[in-house]
A and B are shown apart, each in its own frame.
Chain A
Amino acid sequence: MKTAKFEKCPRCGSSELQNIFYVESGEPPRVYVRCAKCGAFVARYTLSRYTSDQPYESLLRMLRRCSLTDSRRSVAEIEAFTRGIEEKFKEALRMAEEGGEKRRIEEIIDESED
């Protein structure tokens, strides 16, 4: 399954949202999403991995806590990590703009896990 959609405020339907990055010691980082228009709570994400607009620097941070043994796979994975993000972002944007996805985000996540 491959799908994407713009997240919207459940109260006013606005797509203008604000991400609040929240960290508490000992807990995984979380992102709270707030509607920029009406201020309503939209969603909360728990992060397992973060990548900024500088993917190589994010990768360096990630690699500090993991081990790599297979060199050939490492080259492929590092290349995929740094190049793949931009390509995937464009693909996700295109799909979201097409607007074909009508299900709720919980439903999409649920079905993707099947």
Chain B
Amino acid sequence: MKLERASLFRALWTFLSFFFLWISIRYAPGDMSGAQKTCLGIFVLAAFLWVTEAIPLFVTSFLILALQSVLLAPHIDGNYRVFLAPFFSSTILLFLGGFVLARGLARYHLDERMAFYLLDKVGDSPGRILLGMMAVTAFLSMWMSNTATTALMIAVAYPLVRQLEPGDPFAKAIILGIPFSANVGGIGTPIGTPPNAIALSALKEVGINLSFLRWMVLTVPLELFVLLVIYWVLMLFFRPRTGKVKLSLEKMPPPERREIFVSGVLALTVLLWLTTGLHGVPSSVISVFPVLALFGTGLLRREDFNSLGWDVLFVIGGGLSLGVGVHRSGLDGWLLTSLGFERLGFYPLLLIFAFLAALLTNFMSNTSTAALLVPIVLAIGKNPLILSLGIALSASASMLLPISTPPNAIAYGSGLIKVKDMARAGGVITFIFVIAVSTIGYFYWKLLGF
């Protein structure tokens, strides 16, 4: 019965999204061109479907592609291929390489080995264990999906949580610390989380090519700051009752040759990504190396390839494609002028968009949030790097609700935390996160010459 009602609502939301598409095109302000009206309609439809999740996010991406090709292309130059190209852009290839590496790590338990190795050194005080858990989660999340990292680390933390006295608030600190750190960890590398891909691609469109290393230099200090904030907030809200806890880690056998080979591929890929400035090979092309090395040697199989996060790649592709539509139709410029953003100073703009991104990302996917906002801010023409980074990073501030992001949903599924626990701690962290991005980030990026 519950399922039927959910299906009914999905059908209703889908119908409404098409109704909004029609309304937007039919009743758009008169000063808009045909292309702008059509793109506004598609933009509203995409936003509505992304918020309601009436259809899977990747299906919305295909819908964007279809609508732009059929309705928008004739208004521009009839070339639908510009909307198709983002689905296999260099950013998508970069992410594909990241997914293959992550699959190699998981298949050969190297993620687990790394986690156990690092956690073995954290000692037995609750504070150190929480900080250790968070640091390992954030580090792994820079290279693996936030979902997979959260699942791994909660599984590692679960025995510890079970040995705590019933009702010890420290259990909540651990269970919340993991998804929050995974969300923040994703900002540290271009492949850490999809909003980074949206920002990188959009910046490329305006002639700014950020290397892998440069991205890390710009984001890792902020990541570390926000991690410390999360630690501080969790220890304040969920103070441990016990002075000592024991982290029981499995003993893993010595690595086999295959594991050593996969570690070598991982290390070499990361090294090549970080040194693009020296050898000149683009990071997206380097991403082909792990695909060749791991699938070519049979260490990963066809099943692994089939189960890579293709839906994530298509969600990114749809977001990028929508960005192309917004730019080509001139909707970005129209929105900025009509909403009065052009009259605002740069800093208020950064603040407004960073907070808007943080608000939206808690109710819709972080990829969709970045996909909707980044193309608009780029039209401002003022310092696109800081604005895009501000939005992409704030889009990872999904800490309020279980529905904000899949890692939060996984933590909530443990039954150890309530929505109000997440909202209380997550609310404070989100606020500080956005303020940090728009103040510390702003001045730090300015200091680096951007």
- Report which A residues bind B (CB closer than 8 A): 26, 56-57, 59-76, 78-79, 81-82
Which residues does chain A contribute within 8 Å of B155, judged by CB atoms? 57, 60-61, 64
Answer yes or no: B71 CB below 8 A from chain A CBs: no
Which residues does chain B contribute within 8 Å of A73, judged by CB atoms? 53, 56
Query: Given the interface contacts A56-B413, A59-B413, A75-B412, does A69 sit within 8 Å of B151 by beta carbon?
Result: no
Which residues does chain B contribute within 8 Å of A65, judged by CB atoms? 103, 106-107, 148, 307
> Would you call B311 and A78 a contact (CB within 8 A)?
no
Query: Given the interface contacts A60-B155, A61-B155, does A67 sit within 8 Å of B145 by beta carbon?
Result: yes
* A72→B367 CA distance, assembly (Å): 14
Query: Given the interface contacts A72-B53, A78-B409, does A63 sit within 8 Å of B315 by beta carbon?
Result: no
Which residues does chain B contribute within 8 Å of A61, judged by CB atoms? 151, 155
What secondary structure prevails in chain B residues at the interface with A?
helix
Docked complex: B270-314 residues within 8 A CB-CB of A: 301, 307, 309, 311-312
What per-residue 1/0 map shows which CB atoms of B167-188 lie under 8 Å from chain A? 0000000000000000000000
Which residues does chain A contribute within 8 Å of B111, judged by CB atoms? 64
* A59→B365 CA distance, assembly (Å): 22
> Would you call B403 and A71 a contact (CB within 8 A)?
yes
* A78→B410 CA distance, assembly (Å): 7
> Would you call A63 and B148 a contact (CB within 8 A)?
yes
Chain B contact residues (Cβ within 8 angstroms of A): what range? 35 or more
Residue from B103, B309, B408 in contact with A71 in the complex, judged by beta carbons closer than 8 Å: B408
> Would you call A64 and B152 a contact (CB within 8 A)?
yes
Offer 5 A-B interface pairs, CB within 8 angstroms, sorted by A.
Answer: A59-B413, A63-B147, A69-B315, A71-B403, A71-B404
Answer yes or no: B132 CB below 8 A from chain A CBs: no
Closest B residue to A81 by beta carbon equals B413
Closest B residue to A73 by beta carbon equals B53
Query: Given the interface contacts A65-B106, A73-B53, does A60 sit within 8 Å of B406 by beta carbon?
Result: no
Answer yes or no: B38 CB below 8 A from chain A CBs: no
* A44→B262 CA distance, assembly (Å): 34
Closest 3 CB pairs of A and B: A67-B309, A63-B151, A68-B406
* A57→B162 CA distance, assembly (Å): 12
Residue from B148, B311, B412 in contact with A69 in the complex, judged by beta carbons closer than 8 Å: B311
> Would you call B413 and A67 a contact (CB within 8 A)?
no
Which residues does chain A contribute within 8 Å of B398, judged by CB atoms? 71
Instruction: Tally inter-chain residue pairs, CB-CB below 8 A.
Output: 93
> Would you call A71 and B405 a contact (CB within 8 A)?
yes
> Would you call A75 and B147 a contact (CB within 8 A)?
no
> Would you call B410 and A69 a contact (CB within 8 A)?
no
Report the minimal beta-carbon distance from B103 to chain A, rounded to whole angstroms: 8
Answer yes or no: B58 CB below 8 A from chain A CBs: yes
* A57→B412 CA distance, assembly (Å): 13
Query: Given the interface contacts A56-B414, A64-B151, does A74 sit within 8 Å of B106 by beta carbon?
Result: no
Which residues does chain B contribute within 8 Å of A76, judged by CB atoms? 6
Which residues does chain B contribute within 8 Å of A70, judged by CB atoms? 53, 56-57, 365, 406
> Would you call A56 and B311 a contact (CB within 8 A)?
no
Closest A residue to B361 by beta carbon equals A71
> Would you call B309 and A63 a contact (CB within 8 A)?
no
Residue from B147, B301, B404 in contact with A68 in the complex, judged by beta carbons closer than 8 Å: B147
Report the minimal beta-carbon distance from B361 to chain A, rounded to whole angstroms: 10
Which residues does chain B contribute within 8 Å of A62, judged by CB atoms? 151
Residue from A56, A63, A69, A74 in contact with B415 in the complex, judged by beta carbons closer than 8 Å: A56
Which residues does chain A contribute within 8 Å of B405, judged by CB atoms? 71
Answer yes or no: B142 CB below 8 A from chain A CBs: no
Answer yes or no: B154 CB below 8 A from chain A CBs: yes
> Would you call B57 and A57 a contact (CB within 8 A)?
no
Which residues does chain A contribute within 8 Å of B240, judged by CB atoms? none
Which residues does chain B contribute within 8 Å of A72, judged by CB atoms? 53, 403
Query: Given the interface contacts A61-B155, A69-B58, A69-B311, does A74 sit within 8 Å of B148 by beta carbon?
Result: no
Docked complex: B2-33 residues within 8 A CB-CB of A: 6
> Would you call B409 and A75 a contact (CB within 8 A)?
yes
Closest A residue to B158 by beta carbon equals A57
Query: Given the interface contacts A56-B413, A59-B413, A65-B106, does A71 sit within 8 Å of B406 by beta carbon?
Result: yes
Docked complex: B312-358 residues within 8 A CB-CB of A: 312, 315
Answer yes or no: B426 CB below 8 A from chain A CBs: no
> Would you call B151 and A60 a contact (CB within 8 A)?
yes
Answer yes or no: B384 CB below 8 A from chain A CBs: no
Report the minimal beta-carbon distance from B98 to chain A, rounded to whole angstroms: 12
Report the minimal beta-carbon distance from B349 to chain A, rounded to whole angstroms: 28
Which residues does chain A contribute within 8 Å of B307, judged by CB atoms? 65-66
> Would you call B402 and A75 a contact (CB within 8 A)?
yes
Query: Given the interface contacts A69-B57, A71-B405, does A64 sit within 8 Å of B158 by beta carbon?
Result: no
Given contacts A63-B410, A64-B152, A71-B365, 17 further A-B contacts (CB under 8 A): A59-B151, A65-B106, A65-B148, A65-B307, A66-B147, A66-B307, A67-B147, A68-B147, A69-B58, A69-B315, A70-B56, A71-B403, A71-B409, A74-B410, A76-B6, A78-B409, A78-B410
Report the minimal beta-carbon distance from B60 to chain A, rounded to whole angstroms: 10
> Would you call A60 and B403 a contact (CB within 8 A)?
no
Which residues does chain B contribute within 8 Å of A75, judged by CB atoms? 402-403, 409, 412-413
Report the minimal beta-carbon distance from B186 to chain A, rounded to whole angstroms: 13
Closest A residue to B50 by beta carbon equals A70
